[in-house]
Structure 1
Amino acid sequence: MSQTSAGVPARQSNSRQPATGRLIRSLAVASLVANIVIVVTGGAVRLTASGLGCPEWPLCTADSLVTTPEMGVHGIIEFGNRLLTFVLTAIAFATLFSVWRLRAERRDLWWLSIGLLAGIPAQAVIGGITVLTGLNPWVVGLHFIVSMLLIVAAVVLVNRAWLSPEDLAVRHAPLAGRTLRPLLGAVGVLAAITVVLGVVVTGSGPHAGDHGAARNGLNPDLMTRIHVVPVYLLVFTLAVALYLVFRRVTDARLRNAVVLVTVVVLAQAVIGYVQHFLHLPIALVALHMLGACLLTAAAAQAVFVGFARQVPGGDTVPAAAAAPVD
């Protein structure tokens, strides 16, 4: 590895090849995409009042594994979402098998793959409890939060899968300096609080997943006002973080991560305000759910890039100019 005159390892170019094969990298990306897609389709189940389209679990009805004509379009929507679990399972198993031969030297990929696979039966059980409790809003919320955790794990898996041999051989100081790291930590915490409070707001709102499903009994307007507090704090924190990463030349990976999460937060804020004042139209609520997934992924990416000592990709700027922001 080349060094600068000060003896600091120079940043490698983006031509470095990842240590893992294309299959592993593709499956890591597929896992991230699939975990986001199944959240969106689960949202479609709730927004179309199809949450009890299959009123039993694990069967669709007491006598049938699949939906029946008598159950109509709601049964088709709910059963279709259940079928996507098998797609997610296939991707998870394929990922696990693809890293099998590397499990000794790449225990990070191995355990992340196991975690993503283990999350599927856990989600299936929570989904079953959701159905058996008549779409209890707190159980539905837990279902969503576990999905967010799986998205975070998938983001880490994607990053770790793209590490090059040079990245694996050297543990650099975090790309974010002493001043920026607390801000990125706050971004992660505030994003998590925002998502959790969004789940509570959803549980108090009109889209219950079924016309007879209970709500959590909280005041929707009050919960919405509480929900926006961490959003305001998140926007302020990101404004300071943006100032720091653009104050001087820093690693492009860190700049891009902070810019990405900022764009997602602002887009989510706009969608959230519009859907509130338009009285929660289904299309905007679905878009807001997708935005929650993207916010989770973007925040996880920013925290990973800022804190990790092994980050995929390289920067072409000199090492001295690419020093962490203090």
Structure 2
Amino acid sequence: MQSIPAILLSCLAAALLAGCGGGNEQPAPGARTAAHGAPQGAPAIDYQEVVQQLYVAYFGRAADTGGLANFTAQMEALGAPVAIQDLNFAYTNNASVRALIDSFGNSAESAALYSGDNEAFLIAIYANVLNRVPDAEGKAYWLAALNGGGLTRARASFTIMAGALINTSAQGLLDAQLVRNRIAVARAFTSALDTQAEAGAYSGDAAAAAVRGMLAGVTAASDPNAYGPIIDATIAQLLAAAVPSFDTVRGIVQARCLACHAGAGAPNGVRLDSDAGIRNRAPDIYLQVVVLQAMPLGNQTGMTNAERDIIKRWFEGGTP
């Protein structure tokens, strides 16, 4: 396994300690625009690449739709760079950019993914970001930076990813391709969350772990364009496991139950025309709609099996 060449280590050391922003190596003409979008001040959509890079670097997963919108808006408001190397440089001299990136690195999710002493922490970053163990030279360099305070743990995974993308050794080229492939699949996954139900299903630790597992299967040899079926299967898995929202359940009740269960004339006083009424009668709804399937009476309002399943998962999931 080839190690990080000394010239790259020197470049990254300069970036960390002197704020050189990636050293003297520059992308080929036009490469930065093609890969990362327009220069500083571009529309928020151009920040999607670097936000996905932050999510993959710190969480090992694709961005959720809410997080993507939130962080692209924050970056646009800051006028932050759209390229990972420029953003890494901005970390050293822009307190607002530093605070934003540190919010990833200091998060509970990132801390759970990267824990232990500095050596264990570094090994975990290599495993997640580069899908390999650290080579001896790279391990020595990054450990020295962590132990000496030149690199904070909050900044580490993003900086290591940025370094991988400019490493031109044989191993570095494989690392860079792996990162690019995972970012491409991450972007495709988030874009595929195109319904409220799908976006809502991508929430919580179990969903994050499922998407993290999907991305872990992406290698330097993978074709991101062939990942559509895997993305669809992962989303289907999230939907099957998700606890439906109360808004979804309310919509079903309003459409299928209020013909009878509204107002003073509701049978047996079972009124479902308010949020409190639905929540208070949740056990009765579950019994009649899911267990006995006796309601709606004669199924005159056409409740579907999928709607009964939503009510089932909502009730069994704790009626959130």
| Higher relative contact order structure (alpha carbons within 8 Å, sequence separation ≥ 6) | 1
Report TM bin, short chain.
under 0.3
- Larger-Rg structure: 2
